[in-house]
């Protein structure tokens, strides 16, 4: 999941940086966007009766995405609060980083689905000296078998900035996950 987030944030940040011109002597450029849903994605959940690969659908919520950039770099932060649905899946294709790009419903394992409420937050800092990516997720769901589950996750990645000839180098990372 950390790799997926790192790739997602790097691609997102590069796209935003390319879309918002920032001149060396110019002022700070800012942008704010609002949204109500995130695209479905598949991730392995590590604990509870939901453990295994799952499709995550976040919709019917409130999201905001902020961007600021200047000659020293750019900063991105986003939040989403709303409904979440979790469905067990079997990945059928992966990209070169091991992230699933396609999946089918898992109807054979007997794992439950779930729905409830989620709050996500993420932030990125890309400046001349380092790259920092971090996020936090809190969810409260009820499974199709009636089990109440609370999920909390915090990720952090620190890396050197990429150059035209070398990718970023991760210098520090951690992920903490708990379920109850």
Following DSSP, what letter does each residue of 113-180 receive, concatenated?
-EEEEEEEEEEEEEESS-EEEEEEEEEEEEETTS-EEEEEEEEEEEEPPPBTTB---EEEEEEEEEE-
pLDDT at 134 over 90: yes
Q: What is the mean pLDDT of residues 40-53?
A: 88
Query: 85-95: per-residue pLDDT in tens?
Result: 999 999 999 98
131: closest CA among 9, 32, 4? 9
Query: 147-179: per-residue pLDDT in tens?
Result: 999 999 999 999 998 888 988 889 999 999 898
Predicted TM-score (pTM) above 0.85? no
User: What percent of the chain is modeled with pLDDT above 70?
Assistant: 86
């Amino acid at each position: 999941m950390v790799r997926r987030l790192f790739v997602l944030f790097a691609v997102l940040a590069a796209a935003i940086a390319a879309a918002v011109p920032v001149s060396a002597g110019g002022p700070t450029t800012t942008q704010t966007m609002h949204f109500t849903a995130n695209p479905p994605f598949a991730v392995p959940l590590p604990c509870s009766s939901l453990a295994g690969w799952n499709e995550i659908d976040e919709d019917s919520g409130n999201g905001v995405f902020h961007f600021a950039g200047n000659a020293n770099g750019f900063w991105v932060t986003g939040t989403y609060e709303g409904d979440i649905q979790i469905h067990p899946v079997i990945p059928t294709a992966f990209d070169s980083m091991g992230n699933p790009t396609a999946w089918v419903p898992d109807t054979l394992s007997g794992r439950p689905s779930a729905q409830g409420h989620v709050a996500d937050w993420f932030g990125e800092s890309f400046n001349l000296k380092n790259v920092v990516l971090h996020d936090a997720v809190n969810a409260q769901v009820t499974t199709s078998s009636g089990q109440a589950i609370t999920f909390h996750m915090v990720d952090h990645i620190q890396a050197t900035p990429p150059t035209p000839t070398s990718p970023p180098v991760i210098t520090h990372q951690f992920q903490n996950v708990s379920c109850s």
